């Protein structure tokens, strides 16, 4: 929609729950999580809602995507390690997911610093 709230446009049309949209830094893509394949997975689509692609494919829940400032990586929450929630980072194409928190407590709401800090 426009900044003042006019002209809303529906971007997804799936009976499953689609949530937590995150704009890529260049504004061309939107990452989100969805239940459309029977499990919480991370997807990315073009900014107009076309070309949705599933980036994660894991029996555990993957959700809450956050783009890196340079647009090359996406951080997300996952239950992959049998822990309630860990933070992972993967390539913007879904490649090489890596657990960056290894903590018995839940880790939530990934966010990147505004600079281009590398881990």
Q: What is the pLDDT of residues 14-50, one digit of tens each?
A: 889 999 999 999 999 999 999 999 999 999 999 999 9
Q: What mean pLDDT is predicted for residues 76-90?
A: 92
Residue 48: give the domain boundaries: 18-99
- Residue 68's contacts (CB-CB under 8 Å, 6 or more residues apart) are 25, 74, 75, 89, 92, 112
* Radius of gyration of the CA atoms of the chain, in A: 14
The verdict on residue 95 lying in a domain is yes
**Both tokens of residue 83?**
């822990």
The verdict on residue 38 lying in a domain is yes
Residue 115 or residue 63, greater confidence: 63
Split into its structural domains, the chain has a count of: 1
């Amino acid at each position: 929609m426009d900044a003042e709230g006019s002209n809303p446009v529906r971007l997804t049309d799936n009976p499953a729950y689609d949530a937590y949209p995150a704009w890529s830094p260049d504004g061309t893509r939107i990452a989100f999580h969805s239940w459309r394949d029977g499990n919480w997975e991370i997807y990315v689509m073009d900014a107009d809602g076309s070309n949705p692609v599933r980036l994660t494919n894991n029996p555990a829940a993957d959700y809450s995507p956050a783009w890196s400032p340079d647009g090359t990586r996406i951080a997300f929450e996952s239950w992959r390690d049998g822990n309630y929630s860990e933070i992972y980072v993967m390539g913007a194409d879904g490649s090489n997911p890596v657990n960056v928190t290894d903590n018995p407590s839940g880790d939530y709401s990934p966010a990147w610093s505004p600079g281009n800090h590398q881990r």
